[in-house]
Amino acid sequence: MADVLAGRDAILDGEIVALDASGRAQFYPLLHRRADPYFYAFDCLWLDGRDLRGRPLVERKRMLRGLVPPQPSRLLYVDHIEGRGIDLFREVCRQDLEGIVAKRRDGIYDPAADVGEDQESRLCPSGRAS
């Protein structure tokens, strides 16, 4: 990953996954080292000696976007979707995907908070894990 960041010093929040032929995230092949790992980055917490956790998410995402190289790369940028969270959640369930991470656009990153600004949803209304 260091070569992809071109000498930049960064701490990113995201998930490591394997991708199937259609580009869907798969965890089982990754666990058994049967596929190449990809890193889906959805937040930048530290960049070149600067702690970004106290800055709004939209600002951190802007910095993250500048770090992720054009494709093809194993570092992938996760774009944000505003104002259509319920539609996104329904589509994730319909496609039986892993889940979504929801963050407030003006939220800071505070790992010590009892109830954080970030919400990760992994269960669809049908009750089955996605």
Which string of DSSP letters, residue by residue, matches 46-90? EETTEE-TTS-HHHHHHHHHHHSPSSS-SEEE-----S-HHHHHH
C-alpha distances in Å from residue 19, one per residue of 16, 37, 44, 80, 86: 10, 8, 22, 20, 25
Residue 122: the pLDDT is 56
Of 103, 100, 95, nearest to 123 by C-alpha is 100
Q: What are phi and psi of 61, to 5 degrees?
A: -65, -35
Tell me the CATH architecture of domain 10-121: 2-Layer Sandwich (3.30)
Position 123 scores a pLDDT of 57
For residue 93, give both structure tokens: 């369930």
With a threshold of 0.95, does the pTM exceed it?
Answer: no
Whose CA is closest to 130, among 116, 115, 120?
120
At 107, list the tokens.
């939220």
Provide the residue type at 101 as one letter: V
The pLDDT, as a whole number, for residue 100 is: 81
Q: What is the pLDDT of residue 127?
A: 47
- Per-residue pLDDT tens listing for the chain (130 residues): 777 888 899 999 999 989 888 888 887 888 888 888 999 999 999 999 999 999 999 999 999 999 998 878 899 999 888 888 888 888 888 888 777 888 888 999 887 764 445 555 555 655 444 3
Backbone angles phi, psi at 79, to 5 degrees: -75, 165
All structural domains of the chain with their residue ranges:
10-121
